[in-house]
A and B are shown apart, each in its own frame.
Chain A
Amino acid sequence: AQKVTQAQTEISVVEKEDVTLDCVYETRDTTYYLFWYKQPPSGELVFLIRRNSFDEQNEISGRYSWNFQKSTSSFNFTITASQVVDSAVYFCALSEAFTGGYNKLIFGAGTRLAVHP
């Protein structure tokens, strides 16, 4: 069965610190997709990244970076030099390759990040 575990319920850091949000997943498929979303206090989930299971290259986008390790079934997210605007709940999600016309996402419980000035 598919499962996503975000063991860190809440993280609190001071501005400019680096912070890593952990995501561990379970799946029996060899083809699958991993996602990260950000949910600021306004409520809307904002898409951050999509990664397929055949692409293990790490990705960097500005202050954000993602480390995908199939050997440990992890897809961790690091924010470098955190800012107050990074305060939000972050969700990791998984979907198995699917031939239907839509996407079945399994979400983790989320990690609440608080960045203090």
Chain B
Amino acid sequence: ETGVTQTPRHLVMGMTNKKSLKCEQHLGHNAMYWYKQSAKKPLELMFVYSLEERVENNSVPSRFSPECPNSSHLFLHLHTLQPEDSALYLCASSQGPNNEQFFGPGTRLTVL
């Protein structure tokens, strides 16, 4: 595998379910990001991990819970989501400050 991978690519869940999104980067980067992309809204930064420490949390509801067990893996744990949480969730990674981020293919989430 190369670059940034995300699984699953598609996920349908009910409001009472618990699921997790997984992201893995094979680039040796030291920062990882979760973004939310909804229709008709710009890309929203959710969380940033730098050197496995959470450094940004942009007022994201607690029903989204990130986890970064090591510099290559990032998870987004989901529980009791709402239909308005349906979106494309994108993971990205980068190395050091001011450098470009490389994105994964995203997980298309639908909450029923």
CA distance A68 to B31 in the complex (A): 28
Interface size (B, Cβ < 8 Å)?
27
Within 8 Å CB of A33, what residues of B?
Answer: 98
Q: Could you list 14 A-B pairs, sorted by A, with CB under 8 Å? A: A37-B103, A43-B90, A44-B104, A45-B90, A47-B101, A50-B99, A97-B98, A101-B31, A101-B97, A102-B94, A102-B97, A103-B98, A104-B48, A105-B45
Which residues 1-60 in A have Cβ within 8 Å of B in the complex? Answer: 33, 35, 37, 42-47, 50, 52
A63 to B21, CA, bound (A): 37
Q: Which of A65-117 contact B (CB under 8 A)?
A: 91, 95, 97-105, 107-110
Let me know if A42 and B105 touch, CB within 8 A.
yes
Distance in angstroms between the alpha carbons of A46 and B105 in the assembled complex: 9
The interface of chain B, by Cβ under 8 A from chain A, is 30-31, 33, 42-43, 45, 48, 50-51, 55-56, 88, 90, 92, 94, 96-106, 108
Of the candidates A43, A101, A110, which one forms a contact with B108 in the assembled complex, judged by CB atoms under 8 Å apart? A43
List A contacts of B43 (CB < 8 A): 91, 107
Q: How far is the CA of A110 from the CA of B42 in the complex (A)?
A: 8
Residue contact A101 to B100, C-beta cutoff 8 Å: no
Quick one: closest A residue to B99, CB to CB? A103
The CA of A45 and the CA of B105, in the complex, are separated in Å by: 7
Number of A-B contacts (CB under 8 A): 67
Q: Is the pair B104, A105 in contact by a Cβ cutoff of 8 Å?
A: no
Q: Please name 16 further chain A to chain B contacts, defined as beta carbons within 8 Å, in addition to the given A103-B31, A103-B98, sorted by A numbering.
A: A42-B105, A43-B106, A43-B108, A44-B104, A44-B106, A47-B101, A91-B43, A100-B50, A102-B94, A103-B94, A103-B101, A105-B101, A107-B42, A107-B43, A109-B42, A110-B42
Chain B: minimal CB distance from A57 (Å): 18
A interface, over-half SS = loop
Which residues of chain A have a CB within 8 Å of any CB of chain B?
33, 35, 37, 42-47, 50, 52, 91, 95, 97-105, 107-110
B103 & A45 in contact (Cβ 8 Å cutoff): yes
CA gap between A99 and B50 in the complex, in Å:
12
Q: How far is the CA of A110 from the CA of B51 in the complex (A)?
A: 30
